[in-house]
Structures are given as structure tokens and as C-alpha cells.
């Protein structure tokens, strides 16, 4: 069972640049930081509500993350779902006809992990993870108090078909409207058109007006931040319900 969106992975040129935005501007705490040599990255996890942001800086020019950065620039890399049984989920995905990157679980920053190949999941790179016991999210403070991940968006050729695939082959709950699935209160919404793959994040915040002032942008029903200010990630800030 996939219980929640554990984290969303973002590729940055330098980890310190990512910290300047996600930690210093938005007030997130760095819960874990390490060099993961078999993945060719320096990485950090920053809790955001019940999920986390994972920052990835490539350190091996031949690695997959470095090639992603060279090809696409900074931006959204993958979405990770938590599960108590990574091996079981990999086996279920294989049985459902989805191609795997990892045939068996391996250690990663988020615990024991395993990746599916994006060619089987509508160009969305999907990770499974079982985090270590005692790992937990911590709320942000200040102008961005209560900041939480609400939605991950992904472009695709047919949004309804993509949502159906994630429902039937990964067991995620389909939401009203038929073009999104959800896990642990976070929605993965598919949008027809545009580039395939992950395309943006929606963050909820307790005080939208304070958040807009902190970002230096005008406030409205939603507050939009250009991708260039968030290392290639288009962000929408929305008032918490």
C-alpha cells in the first residue's frame, strides 16, 4: 500500500542554492543531508507538512541526475510514495506490467527505496520508500507558517488515462473529476498538454497575504511564483482550507 507522498525530488545545481530558497526564504528545516555516492548526488530532505522536499545536487557527471540537469536544467525530478514494503510494491508493479529501474530495494536518503521506469508511468519518475523509524515532518514558521504540500502536477497526453493507470496499477485513490489520484492528503494531478512529466507544485499556507508579502508578489486567490525564482519549479501558494 502507498500511504502518502513521502517527498518530491528537485534537481538543483548547488545544494546551497536550494537551501537559500526552501530553507532561508520559506522557512523549512533541513532534516537530513548526505552524499549518496551510488546515486551520484549530494542530497537533503526538508519536511513540508506531512511530506518532504528532496534537493539533489549531482556530483558525478556520468550519473542520471547530472544527465537530467544537463538535458532539462533545474526542476522537478521525481515523486516518492511511502510504503511499508518496497519489495512488495516493486513486485506488484512488475506484475502489473510496469518496467522497473530497481528490481530490489536499495538504501537511499529516504530509507529503503526503489524506482519505476518513467516510460511505464506517463513520463513521471516514481520512487517507493520505506523511511527509517522515527522520521517525521516538522512545520515551518514565520510568514510561511503551516506550509504544506497540497498538489503535484504532471503534464501528459491524456490526463484521464494517466490517472487511471496510477489507480489501477499503483493502487492510488482516484479523485473527483477523474484526472487525479491522491495519497495521504496530497494530490497528483494530471494535465493534458504541455511537456510530459512533473510540471509544478501547489503549496498550502496558513496566511496567504503574509506569504505573498514575503515573496514580494501580489496576492490573489492564489499566489504564483515563476519557476525561475524556485530553481525551475513553478509554484502556486494557496490558502489552507
pLDDT tens sequence across 63-97? 999 999 999 999 999 999 999 999 999 999 999 99
Specify the CATH number of the domain 142-239: 3.10.180.10
Q: For residues 160 and 48, give the distance between their C-alpha atoms in angstroms, rounded to a whole number.
A: 28
CA atoms of 99 and 87, how far apart (whole Å) = 14
- pLDDT digit string, tens, across residues 171-205: 999 998 899 999 999 999 999 987 889 999 999 99
| Burial class, 139, CB count within 10 angstroms (exposed 0-12 / middle 13-18 / buried 19+) | middle
Mean pLDDT of the chain: 94
Mean pLDDT, residues 1-15: 97
What are the extents of the domains in the chain?
4-130, 142-239
The model carries a pTM of: 0.96
User: In CATH terms, are 4-130 and 142-239 the same topology?
Assistant: yes
The answer to whether the beta carbons of residues 94 and 100 sit under 8 Å apart is yes
Contact 41, 63 (CB under 8 A): yes
- CATH fold of 4-130 reads 2,3-Dihydroxybiphenyl 1,2-Dioxygenase; domain 1 (3.10.180)
Amino acid at each position: 500500500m502507498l500511504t502518502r507522498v513521502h517527498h518530491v525530488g528537485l534537481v538543483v545545481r548547488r545544494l546551497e542554492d536550494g537551501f537559500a530558497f526552501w530553507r532561508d526564504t520559506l522557512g523549512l528545516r533541513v532534516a537530513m543531508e548526505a552524499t549518496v555516492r551510488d546515486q551520484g548526488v549530494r542530497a537533503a530532505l526538508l519536511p513540508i507538512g506531512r511530506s518532504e522536499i528532496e534537493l539533489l545536487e549531482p556530483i558525478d557527471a556520468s550519473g542520471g541526475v547530472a544527465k537530467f540537469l544537463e538535458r532539462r536544467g533545474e526542476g522537478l525530478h521525481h515523486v516518492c510514495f511511502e510504503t511499508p514494503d518496497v519489495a512488495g510494491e516493486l513486485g506488484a508493479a512488475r506484475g502489473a506490467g510496469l518496467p522497473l529501474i530497481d528490481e530490489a530495494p536499495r538504501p537511499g536518503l529516504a530509507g529503503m527505496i526503489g524506482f519505476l521506469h518513467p516510460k511505464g508511468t506517463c513520463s513521471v519518475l516514481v520512487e517507493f520508500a520505506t523511511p527509517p523509524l522515527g522520521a517525521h515532518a516538522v512545520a515551518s514558521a514565520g510568514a510561511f507558517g503551516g506550509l504544506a504540500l497540497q498538489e503535484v502536477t504532471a503534464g501528459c497526453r491524456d490526463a484521464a488515462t494517466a490517472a487511471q493507470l496510477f489507480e489501477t496499477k499503483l493502487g492510488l485513490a482516484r479523485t473527483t473529476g477523474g484526472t487525479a489520484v491522491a495519497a495521504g492528503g496530497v494530490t497528483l494531478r494530471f494535465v493534458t498538454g504541455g511537456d510530459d512529466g512533473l510540471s509544478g507544485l501547489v503549496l498550502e499556507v496558513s496566511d496567504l497575504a503574509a506569504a505573498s508579502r514575503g515573496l514580494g508578489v501580489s496576492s490573489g486567490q492564489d499566489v504564483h511564483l515563476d519557476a525561475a525564482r524556485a530553481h525551475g519549479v513553478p509554484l502556486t501558494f494557496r490558502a489552507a482550507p
